[in-house]
Chain A
Amino acid sequence: MKKFLTLVLMSVLSLGGLGAAYAENYGKQKVAYHINMDDEKTLKAALGNMQNHVTAVGKENIDLRVVMHGPGLALLQTANKDPDMQDKVSNLKRQGVHFNVCANTLKSKKINYKTDLYDTSEQDIVPSGVAEIAHLQSQGFSYVKP
């Protein structure tokens, strides 16, 4: 939410402001992507879908959360070693996309988020991936399973 307000401000402060594409609606689109698979092809395609989604709606018009749990953490584990995936993830983050990982999974799979996952900090951790997805839906987020 804060980021959207900042972007509105930035365009208010800028000269002219041509090119800022404002949606005709009165709110942001909110979407939660549920990632619990580790098949690399599917994960790469999912990242592609997310980018298409953000591009289509406009980065200031969407609040996209990627919630990973179980095998789904493979997304950030692979990104740790795969430069192409790293790029995709970084780009999405720069456009305001959040990547959240499940604490339960970190514990059960003994994953160290600092060393094993790409660019993951403590703020990205949620206690339970599934509970987070359920919670987001109760907050009006749509659900997408790639």
Chain B
Amino acid sequence: MNEQQKFSDEFINAFIDDQLTPEEKAQVYARLSGNEPLSRQICELRKVRDMVQLAYKEPPMPERGMASFAAAGRKYGVGLVAGLALIIVGGMGGWFLHQSRAPQDAAVAQVMSNPEEPAKVLFHVSDGNAEHLKTVLDEVENLMKFYQQTNQKARVEVITNGGGLSLLLAGVSPYADRIQRMQKEYSDLTFVACQNTIDRVQQELGLTAKLLPGVVVIDSGVAQIMRRQHQGWAYIQV
């Protein structure tokens, strides 16, 4: 394409939809600076695209009763069982209810967010400073109490690696009793120790780690964190 040749309309549209090759895109970028008509054209097309997205962001929802599901099932020859599947799926949560939420609705949203679905939170502890460890336990306990008060089921893991391992070492941890109490009091709270760190402690310090009762060991703290995040767990670094 030489300097004098204009880009075709299709080409420009393909540009804004990211359907061009990198080389083709570069051509457009090269031509853009100082080129008001082209800039304006691109801008206006993008506006149109944005307006279309805007117009259907929150479409009106249909009226729905149980009867209509069964009817829909029968109508399309799907049969009662599949219709049932659709009922159950359709009954889950609002479609567009949770999309946008102003901060002032935070309290309500937190409580209502998903009563059946447990909250899944992992705390990552890698610093063994005593003051810091106390903060960790405070935060974990505050969170568990909050979920109890709001009747929200929750699964919480405290994953320790590096210096954080000292939280869970018998004879080293300043909070052995507190941890034991917390384990009794909160059913879905798990303290996790990293095997890699345990090995390093053995090799570098000659110390054979003895863990507090009830502590779970996994291969690698980092790997466990990644696995959990992949499963949709929230991550808190303390």
Contacts and interface: CB of A to CB of B under 8 A. Distances in A.
Direct contact of A and B (CB under 8 A): yes
Of B110, B138, B234, B235, most A-chain CB atoms within 10 Å: B234
B40 A18 contact: yes
Interface residues of B, number: 44
Interface string B95-108: 00011111110110
Interface of A: 1-2, 5, 8-9, 11-12, 16-18, 20, 22, 24, 26, 34, 36, 65, 69-70, 98, 100, 104, 122-128, 130-139, 143, 145
Given A1-B100, A18-B36, A132 B110 contact: yes
A138 B143 CA distance: 16
Given A135-B110, A138-B119, A130 B47 contact: no
A138 B47 contact: no
Contacts, number: 109
Interface of B: 16, 18, 36, 39-40, 43-44, 46-47, 50-51, 53-54, 57, 98-104, 106-107, 109-110, 113-114, 119-121, 135, 138-139, 142-143, 146-147, 150, 232, 234-238
Given A1-B100, A127-B107, 8 more contacts: A11-B47, A17-B40, A18-B39, A34-B236, A70-B138, A130-B139, A131-B110, A138-B120
Given A8-B54, A18-B43, A131-B119, A138 B238 contact: no
A8 B142 CA distance: 40
A17 B47 contact: yes
Given A8-B50, A16-B40, A17-B44, A130 B143 contact: yes
A12 B47 contact: yes
